[in-house]
Chain A
Amino acid sequence: MEFNENFVYGCSAIGAGLAVIAGIGPGVGQGIAAGHGASAVGRNPGAKGDIMSTMLLGQAVAETTGLYGLLVAMLLMFVKPFV
């Protein structure tokens, strides 16, 4: 079977779509972090500033894996390494 350029384009697009499924993990993780942050503020409203900054830092670190997926999708769509 012969693979022409359009076939590779199509497969790259499918791969890009599959790669952004990586966004599920960070979504769940950030939600858990935000929920625990909210309950921590509820228990100790005085420490709101510290809780906020710690939560945002943790969420941004957790976001990295999702961004790797996004990066792979963007490379597949715009840089087209396999064509």
Chain B
Amino acid sequence: MVHGLVEYSFFGHTVYLTTTHVSILMVMLILMVFSVIAGNGFKKALREEKFAPTNGFMNGVELLTEFLMNTVKGGMGKSAPVFFNYIATLFCFILLSNISGLLGLRPPTADYGVTLPLALITFTIIHYSEVRFSKPKQLWADKCSPLPPWLPIWLPINIISDIAVPISLSLRLFANVLSGTVMMALIYGLLGWIATGWPAALHVYFDLFSGAIQTYVFCMLTMTYISSARGDN
């Protein structure tokens, strides 16, 4: 469970700095160190005009970048260059958050306060793009979609389905990571000394496999929604 570590008062409310904040800071620290080292490697390669990876680490960085570029290109088509930075950041952050259970942290994504803002950012981008890239008349026709625009009785249902997007997006990630965390906590808590060694196999499933799949799904759905709102297919 999420524990409060430091208690302070914020406009009369008592709020806590929790384990989520600590693990999110650790994840950010790891990502920052990684990106500084990778960026220095790229700069050095540019300076010395070596256009091939110089060591194993840079090879891995190039593999990751290439994978992310291909994924974003496949998911977004022609607006891929605009959103590559955002999606790649999202991918690295969620992936490291999901597998941070292996490092002994409580995964930050097992807290609804982390996944909901991530989904709300997506929601904001979707509707900003919709307003920017389609004419108001077209937008109104879309919102009344199965029926003609002069008969807006389908409008509330479309609005509800719009609101359901960030909720389902965030709850999917949250519930997956939380179920893994709770399941592992139950196994370690109930079995005691019997749970030595073999739960590693369960960690591979709950932390690595499930975490990677959910990261991919979150990024993929974000890309699909944004590119359909921008109207490029």
Contacts and interface: CB of A to CB of B under 8 A. Distances in A.
Given A57-B220, A74-B182, A67 B213 contact: no
A25 to B, nearest CB: 15
B79 interface: no
A71 interface: yes
A74 B178 contact: yes
Contacts, number: 37
B179 interface: yes
Interface in A39-70: 53, 56-57, 60-61, 63-64, 67-68, 70
Contacts of B131: none
B214 A60 contact: yes
Q: How many A residues touch the partner, as a band?
A: 10 to 19
Contacts of B182: 74
Contacts of A71: 171, 175, 178
A63 B217 CA distance: 11
A70 B217 contact: no
Given A74-B178, A74-B182, A67 B171 contact: yes
Interface in B146-201: 168, 171-172, 175-176, 178-179, 182
Q: How many B residues touch the partner, as a band?
A: 10 to 19
The A contact surface, by secondary structure, is: helix
A68 B171 contact: yes
B168 A64 contact: yes
Contacts of B172: 60-61, 63-64, 67
A26 B140 CA distance: 34
B217 A68 contact: no
A60 B213 contact: yes
Contact of A70 (B175, B213, B214): B175
Interface string B113-127: 000000000000000
B225 interface: no
A69 to B, nearest CB: 10
A44 B127 CA distance: 38
